[in-house]
Structure 1
């Protein structure tokens, strides 16, 4: 038996022992597996970093969001189809003017923490845990949104919810955060009041930032909320049982158990979750060694293998960006010439199985009205009017008062692809403009450092969205306007289109505004799309119903099943 196989078996044995050592009262559920339904399995996954904070109103990194996504439940959840469906919400009504959302909550959603588990272990088996449990109420959602707008929280999500009544005045320091337009009409009814309609509001309520916060527990943490195993609480499928991290150690992991109280209302299939805290390279090795049950990867060989089930998502658009501080390549006319040359290059057939030619900004994984956004808005319809690339190039040289361009290399991350398609783009530029530009692959760490330092003239850069909406994808580009060198006029024009889209009462009315916003960014030539990149959630055929949010990188395990 190989050493790696032995190590994998030992890790699984260790996980099994944890189920025994950490077991609390019978109500919490054990490690018993029901092979008929696929329930009761201990799923394992590798996080590529230690979560920075398990506070939903603060967390932004992928590791934190993944753990939070399995610990908390919001009023709504986003399905793979892009549809928003109730979670803790039982029903909801939207006022005729689109500015008031009245949401009635389920009364069978409960908070649970490690402290509750310890108390539960001391009670007799005859005592019903629900009698001692704390129900999630409208006040918990009200408090969560007050925290988002409390300047002491310094939440990165304030702008996302700026559509709420009084949000701007609070952000400007003119009102207290308790005046935000979120109120509890009664114990289980929460009311959101908006300054103006926002067609994306239900989608926003399905994001991590909109998860509830129990004020009593928060204050009891005395500033430690979300930072250790005793300072986190769950109202979702699982609760956190152990969080061990030593930056110099190798056995770092987070261990979670099923929240059996919440599983009564909606079945949670796994009995436990183990998150190993290592790195991306070790994550792949763990999966190959069968230590973990799934993997997020851009490697298309997994999808081609019959050994795995692979869910694919075109969630990133890779394109060329130009250093706004470069004396030549920051020139708008030159950028337009290079963009026109890129569109005229025939490189689609040179892309691998994990990529597809792109001429639009918003990746196909973004869904709207039950379809891929790219089905609703064709790439051709957002393209700027065609111009003669050679004429643009000549004009750019005149504007730069230069006889020729400085020879540079395109900064690219090593290992992303074989770059045959990008070499074809460069060849087309050479034919059109009579100069040569090279391609410089560097390791991911160096790539990130050089981007941050502005040590490049042209770079290949990936962009997506942080939630499932064209607005999220376009806002991500606006958030990086300085890095992209987007003109002030374009920024204002795109913001205007997004404001018009957000002011619609239904999503169907937003399509034309998103189309125009996308066209405006492409016209500015600050980001030149080259290809859409596939990402995969890969798992073995004996597992089913794992889910991935391709925009946040969160893997969800509540519905995951294992069959032997």
Structure 2
């Protein structure tokens, strides 16, 4: 994705900056306490296929139900996962992971071969994974992705069932963080082979090796469960028995469910934030997310023009968007890096990479750049469709962006708010003029 085709419009935690969180615990008829919680998200799962997953909701559920070699915890610490330990060669290019004897939820062993298979499947061009580039520092990955080598040539091999050896192109000290991410998770070979193209499209067509097992998701429904996985190697330390998940698009509906005890957690939006600021259950959680406007340069070559892009960027008042329209704790961004995401020597990288003019608002300047851009591209006007989700927040965002951009002479914007899954699909296939989407730090 070209950074030149993006305009930053929202900052940290656009969708879940402030929440109300209680704690649900119910008892069974026998008297034994069952730890349950009722949780909400703003959209349903798109896919559980590790090789094809790209969105936040899917990633959250995959992380809850599966596990990679290592697991990342607080303060960027990495702890053992499927791998009980690992070693790195003196030149930093060979990593050897020693796996524990863990199991999939069906009782079959999780082996090094499951990791090899998963990684090879992701870099295979036939899989069309949008995250295949994440493997680029593993030997031969780039040639495989380009279709010049067979996936079996990837620099990873299983030395028996419980030893995985990875060969890197160059030393990568942060590779330990990479393998903790969901893209590097194993895939149960028998499940992929059994279900083929339908693998990961519902709860019964995928294997789970993590803390929870996904139940009740048929691929399209808005409710599902995460149930404790008895086969998980560390099950004794998992205290929660069931997490009842519900996708709720409308903040008012979600808040009503929370107040009536049907939800133990809900995100707040707009005036809801003001009304609940003094509640003991009110919490602010920052997410390392940047929301942006992507322009389809292939469909509209005019977006390759620097002045056109600058005009669009300067025409959007980011402060007004986060303070008046969203009013949910979101922040106007300083650039492509979210606040408090990464620090070096105690300094926030978002501050060090801040270029004020890149995220400024100046309608007068925007009109000047717009006029220049129209002259250079030979255009007099443009009629565009703005694509986004059909949630309440997304609708308010598109309405605001529409009102801002149409202040440029000759610009007509038609909003198109569609279900989350549809937006993801259209974004990936290039079926949009403009689309509001997000980048979330892994």
Fold shared per TM-score above 0.5 = yes
Find the counterpart in structure 2 of residue 507 from structure 1.
Answer: none
In the other structure, the counterpart of 1:364 is 339
Measure how far apart 1:235 and its partner are. Answer: 1.4
1:185 is matched with 159
Deviations 1:355-401 (CA, angstroms, capped at 9, x unpaired): 333341222253355978535624148969xxx95986776576467
Other-structure match for 1:270: 240
1:236 is the counterpart of 2:210? yes
CA distance in 2, matches of 1:323, 1:148: 26
Which residue of structure 2 lines up, in the alignment, with residue 110 of structure 1?
Answer: 103
CA deviation map 1:262-312 (0-9, x unaligned): 365660011122234x54235555334321222345557447241424242
CA distance in 2, matches of 1:287, 1:177: 48
What is the match of residue 249 of structure 2?
Answer: 280
Of 166, 171, 175, the residue aligned with 2:149 is 175
- Report the CA distance between 1:193 and its aligned residue: 0.8
- 1:372/1:148 Cα in 2 relative to 1: closer, same or farther (>3 Å)? farther
State the distance in 2 between where 1:261 and 1:166 align: 35
Residue aligning to 2:35: 41
In structure 2, the residue matched to 1:209 is 183
Within 1, Cα distance between the matches of 2:268 and 2:413? 23
Aligned to 1:415: 396
CA change 1:206–1:31 in 2 (3 A) is farther
User: Measured at CA, do residues 193 and 391 of structure 1 come closer, stay the same or move farther in structure 2, by a change above 3 Å?
Assistant: same
SS in 2 for 1:65: helix
Alpha carbons of 1:95 and 1:370: their partners in 2 closer, same or farther (altered >3 Å)?
farther
> Which shifted more, 308-317 or 157-166?
308-317
SS in 2 for 1:233: coil
- Other-structure match for 1:257: 227
Deviation at residue 258 of structure 1 after TM alignment: 1.6
Q: What corresponds to 2:290 in structure 1?
A: 317
1:198-243 CA distance string (max 9 Å, x none): 4553332122121112334544557754344443322111224x42
Over 3 Å counting, the alpha-carbon distance change for 1:361 and 1:74 in structure 2 is same
Q: Deviations 1:493-536 (Å, cap 9, x if unpaired)?
A: xxxxxxxxxxxxxxxxxxxxxxxxxxxxxxxxxxxxxxxxxxxx
Instruction: Quickly say closer, same or farther: Cα 1:395–1:222, change in 2 above 3 A.
Output: closer
Distance 1:311 1:207 in 2: 25
Number of aligned residue pairs: 397
Structure-2 change in CA distance of 1:96 and 1:305 (3 Å) = farther
* Aligned positions of 1:4-153 closer than 5 A: 32-33=32-33, 40-46=34-40, 51-79=45-73, 81-107=75-101, 109-113=102-106, 133-151=107-125, 153=127
Alpha carbons 2:209, 2:231 under 8 Å: kept: no
Structure 1 portions without partners, runs of 5+: 1-11, 21-29, 34-39, 114-132, 469-564
Larger mean CA deviation between 302-311 and 204-213 belongs to 302-311
Answer whether contact 1:42 1:271 (CA < 8 A) is retained.
yes
Confirm or deny: 8 A CA contact 1:105 1:138 kept in the other structure. yes
Distance 1:371 1:80, change over 3 A: farther
Q: Which residue of 2 aligns with 1:463?
A: 438
Change in CA separation of 1:85 and 1:365 when aligned onto 2, cut-off 3 Å = farther
Q: How far apart, CA to CA, are the structure 2 residues paired with 1:31 and 1:453?
A: 54
Shift in Å, 1:141: 1.7
* Residue matched to 2:170: 196
- C-alpha offsets along residues 8-61 of structure 1, whole Å, 9 cap, x if unaligned? xxxx99x97xx78xxxxxxxxx9932xxxxxx4112234555545433223334
Aligned to 1:289: 260
SS in 2 for 1:112: coil
Distance 2:271 2:323 in 1: 15
Residues 310-459 of structure 1 aligned to structure 2 (within 5 Å)? 310-318=283-291, 324=297, 331-336=305-310, 352=327, 354-364=329-339, 366-367=341-342, 374-375=349-350, 377-380=352-355, 389=365, 399=376, 406=381, 413-416=394-397, 442=415, 444-445=417-418
Which residue matches 2:11?
Answer: none
The normalised TM-score by structure 2 is 0.68
Larger Rg: 1
Q: Cα RMSD over matched residues?
A: 4.8
Instruction: Kindly indicate whether the alpha-carbon contact (under 8 Å) linking 1:71 and 1:236 is maintained by their aligned counterparts in 2.
Output: yes
